[in-house]
Structure 1
């Protein structure tokens, strides 16, 4: 099995077909595909040609990837915009596309999600001191990637 994993692809046509399959399976960032092509043992000029071909045939679309990533992490994992932004930066997505992806998350849904996360967490905190309790909730939400001003606003207007 290890020999199969280390199998190198030197034919650009075969690599393109395999990369198309890789991109069709789920949305990918350009850097993910580039790393995978290098992992397969392709040369830099072949890698860039394949990336260009994938973009022109719309197998690879960085904006589509950024929006899908942002929606997925928000809806499935309950991540805040700061954490999503860091994840996209880690995948080397351009700032302009990160901004577009974050704007695609509806503000009302975002606020409701944060309120739900804080409410759920508040039930598990046994701290009696109100100040310490709110600090714990704030730290938890910050760790999930939500913005401090929004967290404080919700904590101020709710009785958590």
Structure 2
């Protein structure tokens, strides 16, 4: 679909020891998410690794350098780079839900609990199916049916306190 304001979205693969320097619009926000690997963000070379997000401040370029040595499972630094014009709206979030207000976040949890958010069916290839049933224990065993937003977040080890930022 289309967005309300222009955005830039880039998937970049950076070889060990290589650097990317992207020109960036001064009126855009910028963030870089490391999908795999190790590297350094900005001219000051702040460390970034898989699963971490770097938010860039004012400027007209994004600089990322891949570390010389990468992890065994991924030979390169894989990045998701996103930016766009700030929309200057309030933000509230808890766990995986991000909305404009606390009420909207709570409504999203209620919709999730009612099954109104839909589901993505798993499609298995015959050779990918486990040969033996997986033994599950603890919270994910199915014995516990979470009924509140806090219990759902606890199962997924997500933050359970509401976060909010007014603009």
TM-score normalised per structure 1: 0.29
- Going by fraction, where is helix more abundant, 1 or 2? 1
Give 1 or 2 for the bigger CA radius of gyration: 1
Structure scoring higher RCO (CA < 8 A, sep ≥ 6) equals 2
